[in-house]
Amino acid sequence: MLSKMMSSMLLVVAVTVSPSVIAGNAEPLQLAPSEALKLWTPSAGEFHPRIPANPGKAGFAEEVTVAYTVTKRGRTKDVEVIEAKPAGASSEWALNAVKAMRFDPTESNSARQPVRSQLSTHWDGPAR
């Protein structure tokens, strides 16, 4: 009887354990940009965010801070603007650039731990 009860308790415990605990911590670490770069580095390549034909008339934000998550696959998700200057200006160019970015894990991140971080970027206008 005691054996059956113990087996039942173990089954209940096993079923109630979160899948993220079993698989390891899949929740992104909240890291400052300098710390996030110790786990993930931007992949080599160029990123070409979509921009309107006449960006001078669009009122683009000159400086944008964007928060993002790097997934286990090195892709970005949950990209959002934290701050844009001047306020109310379009920050779509920064969102598109960060969404297009890809990251490679560093040697110290062989488990490919997801991270949540942010970056600040400056708009210098279209390439001439």
- Sign (positive or negative) of CA dihedral 41, 46, 47, 51: positive
Could you report the per-residue pLDDT of 102-127, keeping only the tens digit for each? 999 999 999 999 999 999 988 776 55
* Domain membership of residue 76 as a residue range: 25-122
Q: How many domains does the chain have?
A: 1
Who wins on pLDDT, 91 or 114? Answer: 114
pLDDT at 18 over 70: no
CATH number of the domain encompassing residue 74:
3.30.2420.10
Domain membership flag for residue 40: yes
Domain membership flag for residue 5: no
Who wins on pLDDT, 46 or 50? Answer: 46
45 in Cβ contact with 64 (< 8 Å): no
- Reported as type and span, the H/E element at residue 11 is helix 2-16
CA angle 68-72-77, nearest 5°? 25
CA distance 30 to 32: 7
Q: Band the pLDDT of 2: cuts 50, 70, 90.
A: very low
Domain membership flag for residue 82: yes
